[in-house]
Chains A and B, each alone.
Chain A
């Protein structure tokens, strides 16, 4: 029995959203009478942090403290239309819609404040702490709360905004097959170090090193959280998970969580992450978001590392001990590939 080390690499050019059909998202923003703002969306937060990021974006575009912004994703019947939370589109699509809706609401807010202060709205600015001031004369000011109260009860004005993000739907050029399926791309490169036991076929992933380019990381801790959890899921997809282990035969189907394999808290892999920030021009404050890309590159990198370790090319997921052992048998034993400089021995 020999334990073989292997290193595998994968990189990814990852589409954010889909141009087909224009991929629209809408947002509505309105003030409450006490000077807070409600952002209404129909896309939901799956745990990736879409609500937190949209809250940050709205606060920034409105010019008010983040504590004064709420995001409501309660109901797609009563909220504005959205294509949904998928295709790694959340930050980019909803964020852009939220900026537009918030900018319109901000303009209303500045008009209402201007009327109260008897100045021109163009001379006003927000301080981000809940006040609206005359530029160059900050002592002449009104709070956002008083502005909202005046708008609601005195001026008869709503502080609200509508936003939609829709891109030019991209059709196919039937002669060339050419089309432009996405507006922007995120990127990642990932290196896996693992070992393969040539007697049992067992794979142990030892280390993940990754670099992700996600535009601006609008919430760096949420980005890191998503990358850590996503890589875990990538390892799980690569080595364990399947609902049809012997497809098309229906043998050994997992029936429940007991028989559906996933790595547990004792089988996590150390993961060093570098996040590169290259703000994208068409993205909200430059943020594209990691999305599904957090799991994807792990799978080919593991397949490549297994090939590097023992020379077995597994092209069906998951890469189980059985498939590795059959490959070793077909090849007449382990055929380790070239060692990369720095590969652990």
Chain B
């Protein structure tokens, strides 16, 4: 599984929307619809592709943890019907470009690989409510697994630029699937720990010990994406130390804007509909023991 998906959160502790206003509210600008020209597109590791798009209206306002919807259908084609949600991995505001890193998993991402330079992709973004850096934060931990790390890389850059010490864990099945390490180092993270399943370093034991050690010396917030197991570790740490946790969730999406109701996190039996990942998230915070801020 690619990420802590909405389908799986039923078994996780309650997650809540980030605040609407105040210092721990995410910054959200209205999204734009554009036909973004492909600037660079290529394989960066087996199954992993990097796509740079000319998308000034998105690059201007995007914040860490936000995403875009990329239409897979080309030209006049009317299918694949559903566009694909992709985290905005990085951006160049002045140059008007956004960067996406994706893994080929099914029909849509397989088709995405066929886009070449100059082609125009119908793109909507920035979407959703992203990660929030607390005003007084000095040290944060980022936990990402597989392609889930793509939601976190931009946060590292913004945090480091503010003088916040970034400790990043990059987890994957095997070394070819480690994404984001380079981006973290380039962003100025003080520690990048890369762990894999093949040598056991990504196990709950070693990762839990690393996290505990970090938290012992004081962490202001833990950010997670891409794995229920990492999220669970983060929540355990939150319970033990009171550290706040923000997590980015995944869900199947159609509109990305909040009107189709396809992406609800889904706790059946409630009277009220559970939060929509696209509109209320994708970043949620853990409640109630450790409110953000």
Asked if A and B are interacting partners, one says: no
A residues neighboring B (CB under 8 Å): none
